[in-house]
Structures are given as structure tokens and as C-alpha cells.
Amino acid sequence: MIIYFVLMVCSVMPSMIFNINKNSKTKKMYLVFIFSLIAIISSFRNITVGNDTHAYYYNYMLTGNMEWGVLFEARFEPGYFILCKILNYMSPNPLLLFLLVGCFISIAFAIHIYRNSTDVILSTFIFLCMFFNSTMNVMRQYLAFSIVLLGIELLKGKKYIWYCIISVIASLFHSSALVCLLYIVFIHYKYKRFHILLYIFIGTISFYSYFHIRHILQRIVDIIPTFNVFSRFFDSSHHFDGSIVGVFWLKIIMALLLLIFYIFVSNDKSNEEFSFSISNIIAWLVSQMITTIMSFVSRLTTYFEFIILTALPNSLERLKNGNSRVRIILTVLVYLFFLLYFINAGRSIANGTYDYSFITSLRL
């Protein structure tokens, strides 16, 4: 766990000496330095770091002994199978897979932060507190999402066909990535003040009434026994303990506060950045609420909650003119909040990555 605090210190210390956000050159140097450290820690972790790491090791070696004919019969998506198969020709050691994927995920998030955040230091700190541990556990999903992250610029450039192709390619590594096709709708939906108030009202009503959804779904299952196989998903307690559900509720509050704050500080509510950010925040809020009663939705929240990496720093930046003291206080509180989140709440969803150790052998 100490290594994560060292990373956090390394991510914050440069801002005490240099004005990292003053130009693109300093931003690039900072992100290259920090995310190189992140890539090293992710790539060279021991097999005991992460609940799923052992499975990734085993599946990689298993793929090396499988024939190409079972491409569409393997338990994981064809893109991931092809990747493991090709890498096996280079080396049977799973370290090669972890090195490649660790570097790719780090590069994708670094590029996304560089292109979209006005405060790369805060964005990086949030990444370390909220996302980094997950990248070392649900590695295949974050590999797919990293491909989508690199394709978002195509979406902004209105190259929708190419973005769809990128999303489909990403789904070859984790099928859930297809949900990112919603981004096309997100970036184009024009929010008006009435719409925003309406969604907040609907969200508030849903917040107090969504507990009844489980009972309605259960009644449907009772009427149609064929659907009984899905009943295990109606209660997250079958998959998550109380501490994890508590973290979900904390994230619901985070999403709700971010939604209110982002609307409050945004002057132009007609541009694509506002539409894309607000849509993702709302989707994060809704999916996170559903996760507390239907566990399988937890995988989908990843594709929406990433917006906090840029929406929160950009919102704080908008307070700069005439509100510098408020901005400084809020920024300090944000840093403290995410640090406490990592120390307390983050442990519940770290999935075996808190106790870190490096791999014992570096031989490929």
C-alpha cells in the first residue's frame, strides 16, 4: 500500500515547485513522468496483486496451447484471445502481456487527461485514488475502455463511423465496451435549463423510490418462471458485502454533487463538452444507483464515472476568475476527499491490489 502513497506524493510534489498547467510542454513532461511510474507498477506487479491476476496468468499460458480453431469457443472475447495468442509466439511468459497492457492503459489515460483536463495534476490524483487499482484487477475491461478513450477524439471530430469501428474493436476485448456507442448520443444531446431541472427532479424522485424496482422485477420472475435465472442479480448482497455497497452509495453522492456543481459553474450549456459531460454524469448516477440492487450493472459504471477525471478539474478551473480563494479551498478539500476515499472506501473495492509486491522474476 505504501507504493501508492509514494505515487500520490510524486504526482503532487511537482506542483509545489513548478506551474505544471501553464503550457502543453510542462503538462506533457509531467504526464510522461507520472504515468511511466504507473505503467511500471502496473506491469511488474506480482501474481498475488489483484484477485483476477492469477486467472490472467493462467489464461495466457492456456491460450498458448490452444489452436486457432477455438477462437470463437474460448471463454473470453476473440480480440483478447488473438492478442494472447500472438504474444505467446514471442514469449510464453505472461509478463509480456502485463507489460503491454499496463503501458497501453497508462498511455491512453495520460493522453485523455492531457487533451481534456485543465488541471492534469488533479486529474492524475483522482485517477490514482479511484481507478488505478481497478486497472490491475479488471484488466481486460480497462484495456477495452482504453481503446475507446483514444477514439473519443474521433467522436469530437464528428468521425462517427470511425468511432463506431473503434468501439467495436474495443468490444472484441470486452463486450461491455459496446455501451460506449452511447457517447454518440451524449455528445449531441442539447440540454436546456428545463431539461436539466426535469432530469434533476426525475433523479430525485427515483432516488427515493427506486427500492421498489427490485420487488417489481421479482414479481415478474414469479409470474414467468423462465426468468428465474436472473433473480440472483436483483440483490447486490449476493455479490457485494456491506462495505462495498457503502462505497457505491458514496459514489452516488459524488455523482450527484458533481452534477450540481458542474451545472452551477458552466456558463455555456449548449456546447458539446457540456452535453458529453452532463450525459456521462447522469448515466454514472443512474447506473451506480441500479448497481446497489442489481450487481451486474457495476461493470457499466466504469464507462461513465471516468468523466470525473476531467469534469471536476475543469469545473474548479471555471471558478478561477473572481473566486480564487474559493477555488483554492475547494481544490484542497477535493484532494483531501480523494485521499480519504482511497484510504478508507477504496480498500473495499481494491480487489486484492492494496498489498502490493513486485514480480520476483523479470525474465521473459
* 92-135 pLDDT per residue, tens: 999 999 999 999 999 999 999 999 999 999 999 999 999 998 89
Average pLDDT (14-27) is 87
Stretch 134-138: mean pLDDT:
90
Tell me what percent of the residues of the chain surpass a pLDDT of 70. 79
Residue 358 β-bridge partners = 45
**177 to 144, 165, 167, 183: CA distances (angstroms):** 6, 12, 7, 11
Closest CA to 136 of 40, 5, 42, 34: 42
Domain boundaries, the chain: 189-318
Per-residue pLDDT band at 238 (split at 50, 70, 90)? very low
Q: Considering Cα of 257, then 114, then 108, then 93, what sign does the dihedral take?
A: negative
Average pLDDT over residues 80-91: 92
- Report the amino acid identity of residue 289: M
Predicted pLDDT of residue 252: 87
For residues 27 and 114, the answer to whether their CB atoms sit within 8 Å is yes
Question: What's 45's DSSP letter?
Answer: B
What are 237's strand-pairing partners? none
The residues, ordered by sequence, that sit 6+ positions from 156 with a Cβ below 8 Å of its Cβ are 187, 272
C-alpha cell at 121: 495534476
Compute the distance between CA of residue 44 and CA of residue 98 in angstroms, rounded to an integer.
Answer: 7
Distances in Å between the Cα of 216 and the Cα atoms of 113, 206, 242, 276 are 41, 14, 23, 32
With 50 as the cut, is the pLDDT of residue 62 above it? yes
Burial string for 265-275 (b: 16+ CB within 10 Å, else e) reads ebeeeeeeebb
pLDDT tens-digit readout, 294-333: 777 788 899 999 999 999 999 988 876 555 667 777 888 8
At 220, is the pLDDT very low, low, confident or very high (cuts 50, 70, 90)? low
120-155: b or e for each residue (b if 16 or more CB lie within 10 Å)? bbbbbbbbbbbbbbbbbbbbbbbbbbbbbbbbbebb
Per the rule left: phi > 0, alpha: psi between -120 and 50, beta: everything else, 208 is alpha
- The sign of the dihedral angle between the CA atoms of 334, 306, 244, 202 is positive
CA distance 32 to 50: 25
As a 3-state breakdown, the chain gives helix, strand, coil percent values, each rounded to 5, of: 75, 0, 20
Whether residue 256 is predicted with pLDDT greater than 90 in this model: the reply is no
pLDDT per residue over 185-215, tens digit each? 998 877 766 666 666 666 666 655 555 665 6
* CA atoms within 13 A of residue 344's CA, in its CB half-sphere: 9
Phi and psi for 305 in degrees, rounded to 5?
-70, -15
Residue 240 has pLDDT above 60, yes or no: no
pTM for this prediction: 0.87
Quote the pLDDT of residue 122: 93
C-alpha cell belonging to residue 120: 492534469
What rounded mean pLDDT belongs to the chain?
A: 83
Q: CA 240 to CA 257: how far, in whole Å?
A: 24
Distance CA 301, CA 32 (A): 27
